[in-house]
Structure 1
Amino acid sequence: MTTAFSPIPATMKVAIAPSAGADLVIDQRPIPELDAGHLLVRVMAAGINPLDGKIRADQAEHAQQRLPSTIGLDMAGVVVAVAPDVTAFHVGDEVFGMVGGVGGHPGTLSEYIAADARLLALKPEELTWQEAAVLPLVFITAWEGLVDRAQVKAGDKVLVHGGAGGVGHIAIQIAKSFGAEVWATGTASQHEVIQALGATPIDYENETVEGYVTRATQGEGFDIVYDTVGGKTIDASFAAVRTYTGHVVTSLGWGTHSLAPLSFRGATYSGVFTLLPLLTGKGLSHHGDILQQAARLARSGALRPILSDRRFGLAQVNEAFAQMASPRNRGKVAVTIRG
């Protein structure tokens, strides 16, 4: 192990979810040892996601994170030590990634974390620590759906369900960066945000699927429909996609749905499960590659996450979770660990 930030303390503060639904508590834990292929990162900021809230409530069996545990998937920080076999990163590098909090891996709501180097990318200087910390899960999820699965391209007509949400507002920006025409559903109060992102808003509460498909595509259907909402919105997606060449993607494929409407269009369906690399150990480097694309878009000015207007430190972590869950919250919530 090598470091320019010596001495590294023996212990660190972490936020522990002790039991289902209980408040997180701040505790001391030993600084983690480094396995091969890992970095020790001093966490500057951690992003929190609705999934973290479900894990905290012990309502996310698919995340395979038993309580008590530290939670948090996303972070941005500074490399303070590297395992001898790591050559892609160096002490002092600023990095970001989705590196823990599921599958038994320690979470990112901590002062330090040992992270697999394959999951990381260099943080672009155009993003603050907080902006970089909230990006990984939502960007990877949006990219895997739009680019890996649906192969978005210039001229495509793309519909994003939940365009003002975490994954949704990033999906709009990715689709726009490829030259697609983008529409996005949201409530009336969200239309200003959707328009500011460069998409045409659709008031799904007051317009039928048939109505907006006719208005936006002359009844032909969208080339890509990305559902970030789930439930009945998946069925609406099947009804909105283009015949033969259309592609429906969802990141929330819960429940039971008839595939007949999709089959009658000869269209394609894909699901996205972003946690697979952390749960299985397969595909880890692809997440790092995707985050390099996030950094590229941020440097070009084509990507900027929307942050909540409230700021939180580690001592206010329970307030941060309350803010994330509030129906009045607008934007991603970050917890500043340092500075």
Structure 2
Amino acid sequence: MKAVLMTAPGNPEVLQLQEVPDPKIEKDTEILVRLRAAGINPIDTKLRKRGTFYPNQMPAILGCDGAGIIEAVGANVQKFQVGDEVYFCQGGLGAKTGNYAELVVVDERFVARKPASISFAEAAAAPLVLITAWEALYDRGRLEAGRKVLIHAGAGGVGHVAIQLAKLQGADVCTTVGSEEKAEFVRNLGADYPILYKQTDFVQATLDSTKGEGVDLAFDTVGGDIFTQTFPAVMVYGDIVTILEPDSSTNWKVARNRNLRISLELMLTPMAEGMVSAQQDQAKILEQCAGLIDEGKLKIHLSKTFPLEAAAEAHKLLEVGSTTGKIALIID
């Protein structure tokens, strides 16, 4: 099969299209999927630059997100059959074949049926951000109806999904964006208070929108200084969830004085740690999201697609920043 190999850590040019052996089903619960598309995520670019989780297993095939059609099934596969369309977040960390390829083998327990109403490219762009936003808001943040939430980078991959999930839960949503165009984009997703952070102090704007109290929950998808700058925008005894690792120099004084509950969200942990039950739970999240998508209650915004052989160009675009929604590779 054709696959994009990461030959060594480095710049996007280390991603090279090559012929490699087809993956084989080795366990009776595995399925062989002919991929039609693969999602591009920031974790892919980070692994490409610094090295994978398994540096001794090179070259590697990146890509956690995939969507395609089942081509073969193991002897004990129960949920799926040949011809079924599926989507999933599996592989791509360096140990097993990722999804920048024509074929991939995945355990059926970690896979969900693809939403019927969207393309393979849209489906492939969805899993990582859906699971991340769902776990951050619903599991870590315990978001309930009537609560107020601040979502950073609302026009981004995780952010644009988080806005919709928050609204589905009945929350009021403030969100930071970088332009008027993106402000209109997030309004169309249901955001109540878009904040143009380049022109406005997002903390003051958040406090103004909540009558000085702050939000019940802040969701940080940016990290760095934004994480600590967000503390005063959260109400006393509120929650802040971040998907980035806080810096060792983080000043926790404001968070401590406000009795904030700090939560970390990394949806890759179950896959990296081999936690079968948790991976099954994530597949259930994708099943629920597929239903919401097919009911027209949840949308995946795909801003750009590239052919498989242009994976390096896709990485370059993502690393420029300011992408609205998601990017995906089309695999013919």
* TM-score bracket relative to the smaller structure: over 0.9
1:265 aligns with 2:258: yes
Identify the residue that residue 289 of structure 2 maps to in structure 1.
294
CA offsets per residue over residues 186-224 of structure 1, 9 Å max, x none? 112421222221112112223224421331111111011
Letter in 2 for 1:79: I
CA offsets per residue over residues 159-211 of structure 1, 9 Å max, x none? 10111111111110111111111110111242122222111211222322442
1:137 aligns with 2:128: yes
Question: 3-state DSSP class of the match of 1:182?
Answer: strand
Distance 1:60 1:18 in 2: 10
More displaced 10-residue stretch of structure 1: 22-31 or 113-122: 22-31
Q: CA deviation at 1:328?
A: 6.0
Distance 2:85 2:298 in 1: 18
Identify the residue that residue 190 of structure 2 maps to in structure 1.
198
Contact kept? 2:60, 2:94, Cα under 8 Å: no
Contact kept? 2:54, 2:93, Cα under 8 Å: yes
The partner residue of 1:323 within 312, 317, 320 is 317
Distance 1:284 1:262 in 2: 32
More displaced 10-residue stretch of structure 1: 269-278 or 326-335: 326-335
Residues 320, 106 of structure 1: alpha-carbon distance in 2 compared, 3 angstrom cutoff: same
Residues 243, 123 of structure 1: alpha-carbon distance in 2 compared, 3 angstrom cutoff: same
Contact kept? 2:8, 2:51, Cα under 8 Å: no
Contact kept? 1:103, 1:279, Cα under 8 Å: no
Letter in 2 for 1:318: A
Distance 1:210 1:330 in 2: 23
1:18 aligns with 2:7: yes
More displaced 10-residue stretch of structure 1: 104-113 or 191-200: 191-200
Contact kept? 1:118, 1:287, Cα under 8 Å: no
Q: CA deviation at 1:48?
A: 0.8
Q: CA deviation at 1:54?
A: 1.6
Letter in 1 for 2:297: A
Distance 1:321 1:156 in 2: 36
Distance 2:94 2:4 in 1: 17
| TM-score (ref. length: structure 2) | 0.92
Distance 2:329 2:120 in 1: 10
Identify the residue that residue 274 of structure 2 maps to in structure 1.
281
Distance 1:240 1:80 in 2: 50
CA offsets per residue over residues 52-76 of structure 1, 9 Å max, x none? 112122x256x44654211111010
Percent identity (aligned): 38
Distance 2:6 2:114 in 1: 28
Q: CA deviation at 1:152?
A: 1.2
Letter in 2 for 1:18: T
Gaps of 5+ in 1: 1-11
Contact kept? 1:51, 1:60, Cα under 8 Å: no
Question: 3-state DSSP class of the match of 1:335?
Answer: strand
Letter in 2 for 1:13: K
Letter in 2 for 1:191: A
| TM-score (ref. length: structure 1) | 0.90
The partner residue of 2:41 within 14, 38, 49 is 49
Identify the residue that residue 89 of structure 2 maps to in structure 1.
98
Identify the residue that residue 161 of structure 2 maps to in structure 1.
170
The partner residue of 1:77 within 68, 81, 96 is 68
CA offsets per residue over residues 22-68 of structure 1, 9 Å max, x none? 332111222212132211001010111121112122x256x446542
Contact kept? 1:210, 1:219, Cα under 8 Å: no
Identify the residue that residue 126 of structure 1 maps to in structure 2.
117
Distance 1:235 1:295 in 2: 35
Distance 1:186 1:198 in 2: 14
How many residue pairs are counted as aligned between the two chains?
Answer: 323
CA offsets per residue over residues 111-137 of structure 1, 9 Å max, x none? 100012122110111111110000011
Distance 1:258 1:154 in 2: 31
1:307 aligns with 2:296: no
Residues 23, 266 of structure 1: alpha-carbon distance in 2 compared, 3 angstrom cutoff: same
Q: CA deviation at 1:323?
A: 2.6
